[in-house]
Every structure is written in C-alpha cells, then in structure tokens.
Structure 1
Amino acid sequence: MNNLQIPVRGLSIHVKMEGDRHLPAIVFLHGFTGSSATWTEVRNELKGSYRTIAIDLTGHGKTTVPDNAERYSMEEQVEDLEALFEYLKLDSFYLVGYSMGGRIALAYTIHYPNRVKALILESSSPGLLKEHDRMERKTADKLLASKIIDEGIASFVEKWENIPLFESQKSLPAEKRQEVRRERLQQNTIGLANSLLGIGTGSQNSYWEALNSISNPVFLITGELDAKFVAIAREMSNLSPTWRHIVVSGAGHAIHVEKPRLFATMIMEYLMDL
C-alpha cells in the first residue's frame, strides 16, 4: 500500500492507494471525525479486484489543517478533489462517500460528472432544503465547534460516540469500538471545528434540486437502524427512479464499520451489474 502526501492547491493531502493501475479504481471519502483508515477492512475485501484510493479530507487524518474555516467549504473541497484526481491521472473511477464524505462525493459528481462512473452514497444527504433549517443547523454547528476548541478532542469524542446516531456501534466488539475511538481521538481540534463551520450541513448549499441533473448510476446504502437517513435516501431515490437504494438489516449509520464484508460485497455486486 502506498501512503502519499500530495501537494494540492496549498494543501498536503494524505492518500492511501493500493492495487494495480490496470484495475478499475474506487475512491473512498470518509465522514466527519474519520480518515482514510476507516475503509481498511472494506478495501481489504476488494483487494485484487479493484484499485482503491482512500483520501483524508481537509482537516482530517494526515491532511493539512487550514486555520481559515472558509478553506473547508464545499466549493473548495470539490476543487481540491478535482486537482488531486488530475495529479493522480484518475480519469474515471467509482466514487464512494460516507455521511460528510457522501455530501462531498455528491457535490463532486454534480460538478464533474464525466470522471464518475458510478456514485455510491452511504448514509448521506443532499443537504437541507429549507433556509430556516440550514440557519438552525449552522448555529448548532457553530456552538459545537466552539465546544471542541474549548474542551478538547477527548471530551468531544466522549460525547460524540454516545449520540443516538452511533447507538448501534455499542454492540460492536470492544476491540472494534476502541479502533473507532482511536481514529476520532487522533483528529485535530481546529480541523474538526473548521469542518463544522466550513462544510457542516448548515453551511453547504442544498443539492436537492440538482439531483435530477445527475445521469451517473447512483447506489444509496443505509442502515435499518438509522431511520433518519433511510427516509432521506428513500426521498432521494423517489426523485430519481433509476437510482438504487438498499436498507441493510441490523445496521446503523456506519454500515462499512459495522458490516464491512457485507458492505464490500454490496459494492462489488452493484458494480458488476452495471
């Protein structure tokens, strides 16, 4: 596996790449508080069949942590990805995004559809449709960002891993829970705070109205126990009837963490059917 630090638009982006260049490529984008490491088990399942590229998004993992929250905006991150793919000479690939990474993957596909052979969104949304809801969320994210700075990573992670969204992860083996916690604890306070301010759901534009413009194949994956995102995915797939949506039994928000082998199998089966 190659661990690379790639200079892109004033940043140093950390990328994990594995697999021969002749294999079809899959790019993975993690969620908030995550990193490229979150995809390790899924990528191991795909080894030999696909070339995999996992990226540490701005302010996360080993990628640069800009001090300016505006540098984390959706527009900036989409352009960072495009410049990165140019650097890597990735002309076409399958794009997988989880949660925050899914929002970024969706935005990238809307702006650069010709590179994306298929878009796979795990527990993701196109943002908030109503301005009022975006303002409320922006205020909440700003408050949380301040708490991260004031109280530190350890205090934040203790609260974050106990929110209802991750309740299903409490049934994971202790070793797996510790692995997820370590990944979160290794994040940077400025990086997490600025991610909330710059690319939180309240800060990004809504992409609901742009969904009909997407002609790429799209596969939506949600966990049965994550009712909010199941409902969002159903609404998305109703707007775009060619999109496929699967609800995974017994899984919550992070299917790739809770059921990595099943998640990888679903990706392979979907791509083989295209």
Structure 2
Amino acid sequence: MKAEVFDIRGVRTYVERRGEKHLPTIVLLHGFTGSTKTWHEVAHTLSKQYYVIAVDLIGHGKTESPLAPDRYRMDEQIADLHHLFQVLQLKKPLLLGYSMGGRVALGYAATYPERIKGLLLESSSPGLRTEHERNVRCQADTKLADRIENDGIEKFVDFWQEIPLFRSQKRLSTERQLAVRNERLKQNPIGLANSLRGIGTGSQPSFWDELERLKFPVLLLTGSEDEKFENIAREMKRLFPNVLHESIKDAGHAIHVEKPRQFATMIERYLKTL
C-alpha cells in the first residue's frame, strides 16, 4: 500500500493506493464517520486484479476538516474528486461508494458521465426528491451537527452506533465492533459536523432526475436487512438504463464491514461481466 497526502484545491487530502497502475482502476469512497480504513480488507482483495484508490473524503480520516461548512457541499466535493483524478492521472475509473460516499460517487457520475467506466453503489441513494423532505432532513442534520460539537465525539459515537441502521453490526465479533468504534472515535468533530451541514442528505441536490440519462453500467448493492435502502435500490433500478441490483442475505447497511469477503467477491464477479 502507498499512502500519500495531496493538496486538492487547498485541502490536504489523504489517499491510499494498492495494486498495479496498468490494471483497471477502482476508486473507493467511504461513508459518514468512515475513512480509508473501512476498506482495508476489501481493497486488499480487489488489488490483486485492480488498481485500487481509497480516499478520505473532506472532514474524515486523515484529510483536513475546514471550518467553513460550504466547503463540504456536493459541488465542492465533486470538484475535489475531479482534481484528484487529474493529479493521479486516472482515466475512466470505476467508482465504488458506500452510503455518503455513494452519494458523492453518484454526484460525480452525473456531472462527468463520460469520465467513468461504471458506478457501484452500496446502500446509497440519489438524495431526497422534494424540497419539503430536504428541509426536514436539513433541520435534523443541523441538530445532529450541533450535538457533535456540543457533546463531543465520544458521546456522539455512543449514540451513532446504537441507531437502528447499524443494528445488524451487533452480530459482529467484539474485536470487529471495537475496530468500527475506534475508527469513528478518531474522527474530527468539526469535520463530522460540517459534513452533515454541507453534504447531509438534506443539503445535497436530488439526482433522481439524472438517473435515466446515465448509460454506463451500474451495480446496486444492499443488505437484505436494510429495508429502507433495499426499497431505494428497487426504485433506482427502474430508472438506470444499465443496472443490476444485488441483495446480500443476512447483511445490513454496511455490507463491506459485515461481510467483506462476500462483498469483494460480488464486486469481482460483477466487474468480470463488464
């Protein structure tokens, strides 16, 4: 693995690279409270056949956490990715994004559809359809951001790991659960709070109307126990022209954490069909 820090539009951005440059490229984008570390097991497997790039998104992991919430907006993060791909000289990579990272990946794909080879979305969505839904979610995200800043990272993580979305992770080994918790505890509270304000699901634009025009191959991955995102994926499947939806049995929201080997195998199997 090669770990590097790049100046991307004024933000020090942490990147990990695995595999050989001549191989097909796949870029991994983590979810909220995550980092490149969440991908280590999957990235190790994929790097045998792919050139794997994992990025700490703004406000997360070892990437900087600017004080201005506007710097975290979707259009800013799309511009960051575009600049990073130019710096790394990536040509038509595959994008794999989980949850928040999936929303960023979809945002990039909708903005630069000619510059990617395919899109793989794990437990993700195109955002909220109506302005009312976005306003309600914005208010909730703002309250949560304030809570992180006021109560501190440990109390927030205590709360976050107990939300219903992550209930299935209770079946993981104690060691695995502790690793997930420690990854969250190492986050910068300013980065997490501003991420919610700048690119929370309520703050980002809706990409639902963009899906029909995106012709590249798309894989949607969801866990069978994550009913909300199973339903979102079914709706997305009706709109993407070139799409496959795979549901992983006995998995929840974070499939790559709960079943990393099965997740990597499904990715590899799908990519061989392209």
Please, what TM-score do these two structures have when normalized by structure 2? 0.99
Q: C-alpha distance in 2, partners of 1:72/1:240?
A: 27
Q: Determine if contact 2:20/2:51 at 8 Å carries over to the other structure.
A: yes
Determine whether 1:93 maps to 2:88: no
Q: Any idea what the Cα deviations from partners look like across 1:217-271, whole Å, max 9, x if unmatched?
A: 1000000000000000000001225310011100000000000011111111111
Amino acid at match of 2:197: L
Residues 18-70 of structure 1: CA deviation (Å, up to 9, x unaligned): 11111111100000000011000101111321111000000000001100000
SS of residue matched to 1:273: coil
State the partner residue of 2:230: 230
Q: For 2:78 and 2:104, how far apart are their aligned partners in 1?
A: 7
Q: Deviations over 1:157-177 (max 9, x none)?
A: 000000000000000001000
**SS of the counterpart of 2:202?**
coil
Partner of 1:252: 252
Quote the residue 1:107 is aligned against. 107
| Corresponding residue for residue 127 of structure 1 | 127
Give me the whole-angstrom Cα distance separating, in 1, the residues matched to 2:57 and 2:248. Answer: 26
Aligned counterpart, 1:164: 164
* Equivalent in the alignment of 2:143: 143
Q: Match for residue 191 of structure 1?
A: 191
Q: Which SS does the other structure have where 1:239 is aligned? A: coil
Give the letter for the 2:114 counterpart.
Answer: N
Residues 1:18 and 2:18 aligned together = yes
Specify the SS of the correspondent of 1:86.
helix
- In the alignment, the residues of structure 2 paired with residue 216 and residue 72 of structure 1 have an alpha-carbon distance, to the nearest angstrom, of 27
8 Å CA contact retained: 2:215, 2:240: no
CA–CA distance in structure 2, aligned partners of residues 84 and 46 of structure 1: 21
**Do the aligned partners of 2:212 and 2:241 also contact (CA within 8 Å) in 1?**
no
Please state whether the residue corresponding to 2:40 is helix, strand or coil: helix
Distance 1:145 1:112 in 2: 30
Distance in 1 between residues matched to 2:243 and 2:18, nearest whole Å: 29
Q: Which amino acid aligns with 1:88?
A: L
Answer whether contact 2:213 2:241 (CA < 8 A) is retained. Answer: no
Match of 1:221 in 2: 221
Per-residue CA distance 1:123-149 (angstroms, 9 max, x = gap): 000000011110000000000000000
Cα-Cα RMSD: 0.7
Counterpart contact for 2:95–2:105, Cα < 8 Å: yes
* Structure 1 residue runs of 4 or more that deviate by more than 2 Å after TM superposition: none
Question: Scaled by the length of structure 1, what TM-score is found?
Answer: 0.99
Deviations 1:81-132 (A, max 9, x none): 0000000000121110000000000000011112211100000000000111
Asked whether the equivalents of residues 18 and 44 of structure 2 are also in contact (C-alpha less than 8 Å), the reply is no
Shift of 1:7: 0.7
- Aligned-partner SS, 1:268: helix
Q: SS of 2:125's equivalent?
A: coil
For 1:111, give the aligned amino acid. T
* Equivalent residues of 2:72, 2:194 under 8 A apart: yes
- 1:178 equivalent to 2:178? Answer yes
Checking the alignment, whether the CA contact within 8 Å between 2:35 and 2:55 is kept in structure 1 is yes
SS in 2 for 1:65: coil
Q: Which runs of 5+ in 2 are unaligned?
A: none
Which residue is equivalent to 2:63?
63
Q: Which amino acid aligns with 1:29?
A: L
Q: Secondary structure at the match of 2:117?
A: strand
